[in-house]
Amino acid sequence: MSKKSRSKIWFLVHSWLALPIWFFVLIVCVTGTLAVISKEIVWLANPETRANPPSDDARRLSYDELLVAMQRDEPGIAVASLMTLSESHFAMLSDVTYPDGRTLRVYVNPYTGHIQGVPPQFNFEEFTRALHGWWLVPHTNGYSWGWYLVSLLGLPMLASLITGLVIYKRFWKGFFKPTLRFNQGARIFWGDFHRLSGIWSIWFIAVISITGTWFLIKALLADNHIAISSQPIVPVVARETVPLTADGSPTPMISPDEAVRITQREIPGFTVDYVGFPSNAYAHLSIGGMSWYPLVYQKAEINPYTGKMEASRLLGDRKAVEIVTESMRPLHTGEFAGLTTKLIWFFFGLLLSMMVLSGLLIWSKRTALATANALKRSKKQARTGKVSVASEATP
């Protein structure tokens, strides 16, 4: 075999060894696409997750009314938090403690206050996100190697986007004159599909690759104990400032509805979706939610006795680098504007998965054809060599 033929064989071996990497990328893309709508799939499968109104004119209860209804439903229950999910068709989540000492997270109907069930510790949503994010590899001492393996894909994905734009000259023409030929064979069709889906997914690939790379940076920072957060430690309510009744016990705390009103008065535009109740006599009422910028979560700490907002963590309190880094996760998952952005992310995730599949098919066919041709040449060279030896041996 000539030196050139041996080089081609080694190149083909190298190409086939890339096959597991292609499948790994494809699985990560497919599981990420499923993870975007995994909560909705759980909603379809589990009626306990749904916020079904008892009638067409039913209204959602206030936080005060929810507390009364929950305690009427389960006497003696202690509510630690109430959380409203971004889509109104989901039941609320609440962390509660029962009289027997059990602490659970439960589904609560926002229209009736009825406790509908307990989320499983590991459901389809958790499974798809764990499979996509870190391949189910446990985080034993810092971030797992599965997390690093998946987040590293952000770098070659970003590189493939850049090189693809360089290779595909005048790619913007694909927006105005899309080409998808169905009647010229599978090779032509998948090639057209790969280019066309890549053009329309430029913004999405850029978002996913940049945010995916951030997850790699996040793990590296965390495992090396490097923090960039400027979040201060919120002091507890001073013992001497707690007002007491005549018998020496703390005065009743303000209601959660009053705490919400105070927060929204102090912070215009604050959309509340979380109330955390004090765990002891010196803790604050925590109010959480969003502002005009839907990618960064905000929080306010309210004195439960005086109603004074004693601490807050708002958009304006963060450094620019914190706003960018805290925006990475919702941008990666599409969870920042309800079902609309989730469906957009799901569609383009599906398109990206198909683009990887089409690239895999094109590459496999080209490599398989090159391998077959190389084998034919090897056999031909072997036969030619035998003929030459035989002719030289003939007297």
Q: Dump pLDDT digits (tens) for 162-180.
A: 888 887 777 777 788 888 8
- Per-residue pLDDT band at 122 (split at 50, 70, 90): confident
Query: Which is higher by pLDDT, 32 or 168?
Result: 32
Closest CA to 301 of 269, 250, 327, 266: 266
Q: How far apart are CA 297 and CA 314, in angstroms?
A: 8
Instruction: State residue 389's pLDDT score.
Output: 47
- Report, as an integer, the average pLDDT of 244-256: 84
Q: How far apart are CA 319 and CA 211, in angstroms?
A: 18
- Report, as an integer, the average pLDDT of 290-315: 93
**Which has the minimum average pLDDT: 17-21, 84-88, 213-217, 314-318?**
17-21
Q: Residues 194-215: pLDDT tens digits?
A: 888 888 999 999 999 999 999 9
Instruction: State residue 1's pLDDT score.
Output: 52
Provide the 10 A C-beta neighbour count for residue 138. Answer: 9
- Per-residue pLDDT band at 329 (split at 50, 70, 90): very high
Please determine, for residue 120, whether its predicted confidence score (pLDDT) is greater than 60.
yes
Please determine, for residue 186, whether its predicted confidence score (pLDDT) is greater than 70.
yes
Q: What is the mean pLDDT of the chain?
A: 88
- Report, as an integer, the average pLDDT of 106-119: 96
SS3 (DSSP) at 291: coil
- Report, as an integer, the average pLDDT of 177-192: 83
DSSP assignment letter at 247: T
Closest CA to 290 of 257, 319, 264, 309: 264
Cβ burial, residue 207 (10 Å; 0-12/13-18/19+) = middle
Instruction: State residue 382's pLDDT score.
Output: 66
Instruction: State residue 344's pLDDT score.
Output: 97
Please determine, for residue 27, whether its predicted confidence score (pLDDT) is greater than 70.
yes
- Per-residue pLDDT band at 6 (split at 50, 70, 90): low
% the chain with pLDDT above 90: 60
- Report, as an integer, the average pLDDT of 78-92: 94
Rounded to 5°, angle at Cα 310 from 306 and 311: 150
Please determine, for residue 265, whether its predicted confidence score (pLDDT) is greater than 80.
yes
Instruction: State residue 29's pLDDT score.
Output: 94
Q: How far apart are CA 325 and CA 281, in angstroms?
A: 35
